[in-house]
Structure 1
Amino acid sequence: MATSTTRPPTGEERDQRPLDIQAMRAGAHRLLAEDPKPSVEELGTVALRLREHIVLAVPEVEEMAGRLPHDDTRRACARACIGEARMRMRLKPGATPAARIARAQRLARSVNALCDHYENLDGS
């Protein structure tokens, strides 16, 4: 099993490169659309890319949510989304192709949700 050595970007790197929301959503959409699903050979690469999107998005959303008041609903929702995304990152790939697709789809849903929070918290 391959492990990811992707590190979260530093604050300086985040300031220099904003998230590419369109690319992140396109990658997520590929797994959430009805057909065609990626082949078993492609699935590992697709899942890795989704994980990388989450690694990039979590610190951004976390930082924006942290600027909101502690009792703000948007802050609580964003933090719940971050927790869910981190939990999904810890899931191991299943033994069957269907289980692997289901895991990747969960990652894709987290990517979409993080994109939503990024846009909503940024005011775009």
Structure 2
Amino acid sequence: MTQRTSRPPAGSGALPLDLETMRDSARRLLAEDAELPTAEELLTLTLTLRGHMMLLVPAVEDATRPLPEDDIPRACALACVGKARMRLNLEPGRTLPAGIAHAQRLARSVNALVDHVVNLGGEDR
């Protein structure tokens, strides 16, 4: 299976993003047939999703820079970035169900950010 990656901005020195792996991480919690993770798996998955978001947020911001300020896709992408930043600042609840709900919200942000990277032209074609 080929992996989809996004190209970093020219001259940025950043590595390409592994968008397929990021989507797979999100799918682990969001798929209809997803099995509930154990507490240990949840911690690992939450940290993984947070890491993906920390890579995706600047990638989306970089992808919006060349767009006009009144561009609707730009505004949508930046709104998504704002929501992702807010979610990164939240703490998971103390119970397993609260932690799962928190991780699911992170997973939805990962999916949305990946969509914006792709839609704004950051995906290898």
Which bracket does the TM-score occupy, shorter chain normalised? Answer: 0.7 to 0.9
Residue 95 of structure 1 and its aligned partner are, at CA, apart by 1.4
Equivalent in the alignment of 2:56: 57
Normalised by the size of structure 1, how large is the TM-score? 0.86
Q: Unaligned stretches of 5+ in structure 2?
A: 1-10
How far apart, in 2, do the equivalents of 1:25 and 1:41 lie? 21
8 Å contact 2:22–2:52 — kept in the other structure?
A: yes
| Regions of 4+ moved over 2 Å | none
Residue 51 of structure 1 and its aligned partner are, at CA, apart by 0.3
Equivalent in the alignment of 1:22: 20
How far apart, in 2, do the equivalents of 1:123 and 1:111 lie? 15
Equivalent in the alignment of 2:8: none
How far apart, in 2, do the equivalents of 1:103 and 1:42 lie? 14
8 Å contact 2:81–2:113 — kept in the other structure?
A: yes
Residue 93 of structure 1 and its aligned partner are, at CA, apart by 1.2
Equivalent in the alignment of 1:79: 78
Residue 39 of structure 1 and its aligned partner are, at CA, apart by 1.1
- Tell me the SS of whatever aligns to 2:16: coil
| 1:42-81 deviations in Å (ceiling 9; x for gaps) | 1011000000000001111101111100000000000000
Q: How many pairs align? A: 112
**CA 1:39 to 1:13, structure 2 compared with 1: closer, same or farther past 3 Å?**
farther
8 Å contact 2:63–2:122 — kept in the other structure?
A: no
Residue 123 of structure 1 and its aligned partner are, at CA, apart by 6.2
Residue 12 of structure 1 and its aligned partner are, at CA, apart by 3.5
Residue 96 of structure 1 and its aligned partner are, at CA, apart by 1.0
How far apart, in 2, do the equivalents of 1:117 and 1:51 lie? 17
- Tell me the SS of whatever aligns to 2:120: helix
8 Å contact 2:80–2:109 — kept in the other structure?
A: yes
Matched letter for residue 20 of structure 2: Q
Higher helix share goes to which structure? Answer: 1
